[in-house]
Structure 1
């Protein structure tokens, strides 16, 4: 499968690229600089560019069977990277005729914003980031693409376990977490299998009692 990945140099993106290559997929990724991603592989193609330059985005998407976005703001960055990036991604997909999109959001976005008192507090603390996720989700839902939104709770740097649960009505709870490696594995599987097409799915670590 040919995959276009955006956010490849981030903490989740690196897992995603590595797992996609291990699974035998071909990967194209947009990067600001070629040295931002240390992975070297014959099936990995890096396109140097930024979202404000649409040619690079179109180059990454061209010929892809599916697009996976794991865009997210870096610490201290107040820009609406998810919304701005997704606007460019959708435009490139429409031009290329690529329909399958799996996009990273967050639990607490859109209709889950009032899921609990904890979520409401979190949204106040990281208000700009959550508004960015809300706007990104709105763009995806308004598109004619074959999309899936993925909403994890708090992310950790733990090892890949394969022990996670997923569902459109899942409530991960106040202690809900998910390893970035497991998030990458779920998103890759969803891009291939498409079990949650046209839906926002919550993914969280399985507890001992699950």
Structure 2
């Protein structure tokens, strides 16, 4: 596949890029600072820019078989990153005629908000994820929203569970490596098109 990625320099994004290249896919990724990415690969194209530059976002998306977003907010306003960034991605996909989108959300967003402790401690992030989900749902894209529980830096284990009605409980965990593996698989297989899916160990 030809993949467009957003959030590639984050903890989950780096797993995604690595796994995609290992699987033989081509990857084009938007980064704010090209120096933030070390290493080169013949099937990896790093494009420096921001979501305030529609032409550059369009360059990342154009010709992709699927777009994967793992946008988050390590610092600053989560809404600007999650919601504003997704608005730019959706617009670019519409212009380019790219349909498949797999986007990272969180357990605690939308109808799962009462089932997760996340919303108590990450209110601003969850609120931004809910606005991001609304943007995605309102689009005409073939989208999948992925909601993991608390993420860890553990090794890729496989054997995770996924489902639209899955409830991992307060102790739910998932490694970022396994999250990346699921999102990459879902981008190609499309088992949860126009659905929000929970993934957990």
Same fold flag (TM > 0.5):
yes
Correspondences of 1:21-60 after superposition (within 5 Å): 21-60=21-60
Divergent runs of 4+, >3 A: none
Q: Distance in 2 between matches of 1:132 and 1:182?
A: 24
Q: Distance in 2 between matches of 1:73 and 1:98?
A: 25
Q: Distance in 2 between matches of 1:174 and 1:197?
A: 27
Number of aligned residue pairs: give it.
Answer: 200
Q: CA contact under 8 A between 2:72 and 2:78: conserved in structure 1?
A: no
Q: Distance in 2 between matches of 1:13 and 1:39?
A: 15
Q: Distance in 2 between matches of 1:37 and 1:64?
A: 21
For normalisation by structure 1, the TM-score amounts to: 0.93
In the alignment, what sits opposite 2:77? Answer: 78
Q: Distance in 1 between matches of 2:38 and 2:14?
A: 9
- SS state at 1:132 partner: helix
For normalisation by structure 2, the TM-score amounts to: 0.97
Picking from 123, 129, 132, the partner of 2:128 is: 132
Q: CA contact under 8 A between 1:18 and 1:39: conserved in structure 2?
A: no
Q: CA RMSD in A?
A: 0.9
- SS state at 1:144 partner: coil
Q: 1:125: how far off?
A: 2.1
Correspondences of 1:1-210 after superposition (within 5 Å): 1-74=1-74, 76-80=75-79, 81-115=81-115, 119=116, 121-205=117-201
Q: Which stretches in structure 1 are left out of the alignment for 5+ residues?
A: 206-210
Question: More deviation in 124-133 or 82-91?
Answer: 124-133
Q: 1:79: how far off?
A: 3.5
- SS state at 1:83 partner: helix
Q: Distance in 2 between matches of 1:50 and 1:191?
A: 23
Q: Which stretches in structure 2 are left out of the alignment for 5+ residues?
A: none
